[in-house]
Structure 1
Amino acid sequence: MTTHQLTEAQKKQWEEDGYLVIPSFFDKQETKEMLDEAKRLCDEFDVDGHPMTTFKTAADGEHVGDEYFLESGDKIRYFLEPTSLSPATPDTPSRLLVPPSQSINKIGHALAILNPVFRKHTLESDKIRSVAKSLGAQESPRVLQSMIICKQPRIGGVVPCHNDSTFLYTDPPSAIGAWVALEECTPENGCLSFLPGSHKLSRTATRFVRAPGGGTTFIDVPGVEPNEEKWDDMDGWREAPCSPGTLVLIHGSVMHRSPPNPSDKTRIIYTFHMIEGGKGVKYDEKNWLQPTEAMPFPVLF
């Protein structure tokens, strides 16, 4: 059994910055196993019958919200990079401009449950359990939204400034992201950037939900005043380049972003999230991602 306990210095950095970079968390063999599986899933993508659902996290609030997306919480589904498709016209449907395996933005959202490789390195991982326990932020974490994100060469899009609790809202907010580099992540191919300490200032004043008439939208959180800060313009943003096998823990309130990938190198990562599942924390039916009776969000410990 391999475990990973955080040092006091790492805990202090987590509390101060709102994120923590842990190099070599997964060894070379473990990382290769996950990367090989991610590439296998990409290579097996069959575009026939796919609804051509794209995924983007746009600064103007435009998000994916079709049934293929909304019903993906207990499945493994493929979401395409918007620029991998030609524009649709009244007479001509969209078509892929790149090979299918190179068109994928992300694959999700139940990899940690349904895929044996990612289950092994998430729900069955003593290292993941021990690092989550030693973080001390959650008493009974539930795992959700597990996915591969590809950031394809030359077409991988920007992910604008955001925090994760907006998209995986609990009352009170409790989300934590676990982000695993499967390849080298650099400023050139779209590594993460963080605004350290912003988790102490940001307020989750809006949440991403299922719209009453179908699709998705954002709604205000009652009683929470929105921030007036323009996060993108603030000083202190810090890039977080990292090598394969690195684990990045992300506080649900910390502001982070990533640039597009104009390079000729892929930036494939695996990520999942945890929310508090104990008493006093509510995850409600408004959230876009919903557990099912057959597949509730699994307990990590």
Structure 2
Amino acid sequence: MGIARNLSPSQLQSFQTQGFLVLESFASHEEVVAMRTRMDQLLHDFDCSSTASIFSTKNQQRTSDDYFYDSVEKISFFFEEKAFDGDGNLKQPKELSINKVGHALHEIDPVFKRVSSSDKVSSLFISLDYKRPVIIQSMYIFKQPGIGGEVVPHQDNSFLYTEPTTCTGLWLALEDATIINGCLWAIPGSHKNGLLRRFLRNEEGVHFDRPLPSYDQKDFVPIEVKAGSLVVIHGDLIHQSFENQSSKSRHAYSLHVIDTVGCEWSPDNWIRRKVDPKPLYVS
């Protein structure tokens, strides 16, 4: 294929030990600007009167609907919980009210597709010994100033389950992420304890099979990164982010990748695709 492995032995060891890895300057300044500019265009063209779907990690059972389910193969827009007043009207412009855009940017939009399917992304998964990786979902996350919602502690394998588990998250900072504006926090080494609960979909909707575990916040460490840095996240790593109560946003682009060789996609995942996604490569 002509794609070289790009993680050093020390980086792989750090990832295996900590459950996450920071790769600074993974995306160029030009790539970051291109993604942010393109999202500005998508938001400008978005007719917010056509939907008022809200995304919340605290109330996912309540806020999951057909718009959410269908977003797996579309570019869909989800509002912050605090974006609306008591009468259901936006309290500020739509550009400052959106929580995220997902979940098929990597397939539909040429700007995000180019970054998502780049050689450097493929080589990263070669380093991680994936045989036939596919991007199962993508998200542009805004973490809006003042109203950017909390993301409760979770593991990505809960939502994107394969047997055996294979999900790896890629979280690309498009703005500097700091403690003040809602950076990621993680419990180093927590991926070694395995998967704690699953997010299931059935004929009645979606639900977790177990309650949210209790965590000691002292165990979490902040992952502050500069724009262009990539955080690689093991699917069993416990991670979270707090509300953004600052005046500065924290844009990021996130991908979740699974392997499709030697494992099986669970039919009770929330994602149910009509068309199988194309692999990044076949080893």
The normalised TM-score by structure 2 is 0.93
2:169 and 2:232 in contact (8 A); partners too: yes
Q: 2:101 aligns with which of 97, 107, 122?
A: 107
Q: For 1:72 and 1:79, locate their aligned partners in 2 and report how far apart those are by CA, in whole Å.
A: 10
Cα deviation code 1:219-275 (max 9, x no counterpart): 36xxxxx99x733x1643211111111111000000001111111111110011011
2:190 and 2:236 in contact (8 A); partners too: yes
Q: For 1:45 and 1:263, locate their aligned partners in 2 and report how far apart those are by CA, in whole Å.
A: 26
Q: Does 1:287 align with 2:245?
A: no
Alignment CA distance shift 1:253-1:152 (3 Å): same
Q: 2:203 aligns with which of 207, 212, 224?
A: 212
Name structure 1 gaps, 5 residues minimum. Answer: 221-225
Q: For 1:34 and 1:191, locate their aligned partners in 2 and report how far apart those are by CA, in whole Å.
A: 19
SS at match of 1:13: helix
Cα deviation code 1:12-62 (max 9, x no counterpart): 100000000000011111111112112222232211221x1100101x764
Partner of 1:261: 244
Q: For 2:4 and 2:76, locate their aligned partners in 1 and report how far apart those are by CA, in whole Å.
A: 31
The normalised TM-score by structure 1 is 0.88
Shift of 1:3: 6.2
Cα deviation code 1:201-230 (max 9, x no counterpart): 1x32432122322x311236xxxxx99x73
Q: For 1:2 and 1:276, locate their aligned partners in 2 and report how far apart those are by CA, in whole Å.
A: 18
Q: Which residue type is aligned with residue 194 of structure 1?
A: A
SS at match of 2:64: coil
Shift of 1:76: 0.3
Shift of 1:173: 1.4
SS at match of 1:71: helix
Q: For 1:190 and 1:131, locate their aligned partners in 2 and report how far apart those are by CA, in whole Å.
A: 26
Cα deviation code 1:39-95 (max 9, x no counterpart): 222232211221x1100101x7645311000111110000000100124xxxx5x22
SS at match of 2:198: strand
Partner of 2:41: 40
Q: For 1:157 and 1:194, locate their aligned partners in 2 and report how far apart those are by CA, in whole Å.
A: 17
Name structure 2 gaps, 5 residues minimum. Answer: none
Partner of 2:70: 71
Q: For 2:103 and 2:243, locate their aligned partners in 1 and report how far apart those are by CA, in whole Å.
A: 22
Larger proportion of helix: 2
1:193 and 1:239 in contact (8 A); partners too: yes
2:15 and 2:21 in contact (8 A); partners too: yes
2:38 and 2:111 in contact (8 A); partners too: yes
1:84 and 1:97 in contact (8 A); partners too: yes
1:166-185 pair list within 5 angstroms: 166-185=158-177
Partner of 1:97: 91
Q: For 2:208 and 2:242, locate their aligned partners in 1 and report how far apart those are by CA, in whole Å.
A: 23
1:44-59 pair list within 5 angstroms: 44-50=45-51, 52-58=52-58
CA-based RMSD of the aligned residues comes to 2.0
SS at match of 1:193: strand
Q: For 1:257 and 1:251, locate their aligned partners in 2 and report how far apart those are by CA, in whole Å.
A: 13
Q: Does 1:154 align with 2:146?
A: yes
Q: Does 1:277 align with 2:260?
A: yes
Shift of 1:97: 1.1
1:127-206 pair list within 5 angstroms: 127-136=120-129, 138-201=130-193, 203-206=194-197
Q: For 1:13 and 1:63, locate their aligned partners in 2 and report how far apart those are by CA, in whole Å.
A: 38
Q: Which residue type is aligned with residue 218 of structure 1?
A: F
SS at match of 1:261: coil
Q: Which residue type is aligned with residue 73 of structure 1?
A: V
Q: For 1:264 and 1:4, locate their aligned partners in 2 and report how far apart those are by CA, in whole Å.
A: 40
Shift of 1:140: 1.4
2:61 and 2:206 in contact (8 A); partners too: no
Q: Percent identity?
A: 36
Q: For 1:2 and 1:81, locate their aligned partners in 2 and report how far apart those are by CA, in whole Å.
A: 39
Partner of 2:227: 244
Shift of 1:99: 0.7
Cα deviation code 1:91-143 (max 9, x no counterpart): x5x221111111100001000000000100012x011111111122x221111
